[in-house]
């Protein structure tokens, strides 16, 4: 397991992501203490926190899939308050 400091992580993020993609786990340290862990993203790993208590598993999966879809321009502008009707 590799431990690197925040500054190094910022300057070498692309390289670190490639290492993680190949299966390596990387720990990012802050002030000499472990702070975060970079691990490969597993397909189907979409935590929804508290929503799991209120929605069925199928509804959670649909919501998670929808959240990963790109936002169309009109919706994005409405969200940012730029939409005028």
pLDDT (tens digit, 9 = 90+) per residue, 25-56?
999 998 878 999 998 877 665 556 667 777 78
In whole angstroms, give the CA distance from residue 21 to residue 27. 14
Does residue 22 or residue 74 have the better pLDDT? 22
Is the whole-model pTM more than 0.95?
A: no
Coil, strand or helix at 24: coil
Superfamily (CATH H level) for 2-38? YefM-like domain (3.40.1620.10)
Ranges of each domain in the chain: 2-38, 44-70
In whole angstroms, give the CA distance from residue 79 to residue 45. 26
Q: What is the pLDDT of residue 45?
A: 54
């Amino acid at each position: 397991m590799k431990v690197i400091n925040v500054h190094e992580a910022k300057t070498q993020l692309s390289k670190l992501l490639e290492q993680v993609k190949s299966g390596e786990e990387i720990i990012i340290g802050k002030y000499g203490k472990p702070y975060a862990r970079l691990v490969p993203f597993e397909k189907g790993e979409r935590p929804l926190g508290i929503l799991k208590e209120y929605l069925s598993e199928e509804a959670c999966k649909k919501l998670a899939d929808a959240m990963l879809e790109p936002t169309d321009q009109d919706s994005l502008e409405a969200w940012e308050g730029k939409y005028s009707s």
